[in-house]
Amino acid sequence: MATPPHCPKCDSPYSYEDGTLYICPECAHEWAINGGTEVEELLTVKDANGNPLSDGDCVTVIKDLKVKGSSLVVKIGTKVKNIRLTEGDHNIDCKIPGIGAMQLKSEFVKGCL
């Protein structure tokens, strides 16, 4: 049995074969065994209506949201421009006019027209 190659991302010698992929347990990088293109993990975030969002989109808040640790409220209908998608529970990073930098959950926004 052939020894799997070192990880091309972190150079770990502990990569292993899983189906048609090599996987690195240290950095979670995946690449094709046949030397083809690398497997890209795409972050898919959908708004409250199920429409996909992408970096740089404009969204509208669909519910009044209390700002934790403050008396401020993000009002329904607030437009937020130039969002950035992230991993995790609060998957949108943005700057809200009058409040500042915040993280939002995608379930409380819808895409702008």
Q: What is the pLDDT of residues 26-85, one digit of tens each?
A: 888 888 887 655 444 557 889 999 999 998 999 999 999 999 999 999 999 999 999 999
Which residue did the predictor score with more confidence, 32 or 110? 110
User: Which of 13, 30, 12 minimizes the C-alpha distance to 21?
Assistant: 30
Q: What mean pLDDT do residues 9-28 have? A: 88
What is the C-alpha radius of gyration for the chain, rounded to an integer number of angstroms? Answer: 20
Whole-prediction pTM value? 0.62
CA distances from 21 to 5, 16, 43, 98 (A): 12, 8, 20, 48
Distance between CA atoms of residues 49 and 38, nearest Å: 32
